[in-house]
Amino acid sequence: MRIFTDQVTLPCFLDFEASGLGKDSYPIEVAWSLPSEEIECHLIHPAREWVNEAAWDSAADKLHGISFSSLQRAGRDPAWLCERMNAQLADQTVFCDGLPYDLFWLQRLFEAPDSAPAFTLASLQEYCFELGLGTQQYEILSDRARKRVGGRAHRADVDVRYLMELYRMA
């Protein structure tokens, strides 16, 4: 897949943070960018059917630093988020860096209000490989992009900035 455009704009990017990596995990934060490079980021209020003790992984908690209580207090309703994402990302190919996980959490998010995404997720890594980057080159660019962006990795908005920078460098 190659994406060509006459405009000097970036494609859209998306990242999730989650309660863990297991089959019972659920999305807790999402960020996405628009072609204008604006980034929107929201905590996600857990849907009732997501919440169980097995789904909250303390190791993941230490990575992202997001508490369960902050989700309950400041998290956005999944239905609102799905509507917002569809309104802003409709008909776009949206790049992420962990396609199997991000796709899983996207599906969980959209299942809560019984909806479907109006956009498609794609792997930034696969796109870079299609451009001719090898694994070693990709890893070098990934490290450089992460250093350029700074900030705390494993926060959705910071990770979206990292994906944007990696795309520019590729």
Contacts of 52 (CB under 8 A, 6+ apart): 24
Contact 49, 14 (CB under 8 A): no
Report how far residue 83's alpha carbon sits from residue 121's, in angstroms, rounded to the nearest whole number: 17
pLDDT score for 9: 80
Q: Share the mean pLDDT of the chain.
A: 92
pLDDT per residue over 34-67, tens digit each?
A: 999 999 999 999 999 998 766 888 888 888 999 9
pLDDT score for 153: 83
Domains in the chain, ordered, with CATH?
A: 12-169 (3.30.420.10)
Residue 3 pLDDT exceeds 80 = no
Contacts of 96 (CB under 8 A, 6+ apart): 13, 14, 15, 16, 102, 103, 121, 122, 123, 124, 163
pLDDT score for 60: 82
Report how far residue 17's alpha carbon sits from residue 59's, in angstroms, rounded to the nearest whole number: 13
pTM of the entire predicted model: 0.91
pLDDT per residue over 73-115, tens digit each?
A: 999 999 999 999 999 999 999 999 999 999 999 999 999 899 9
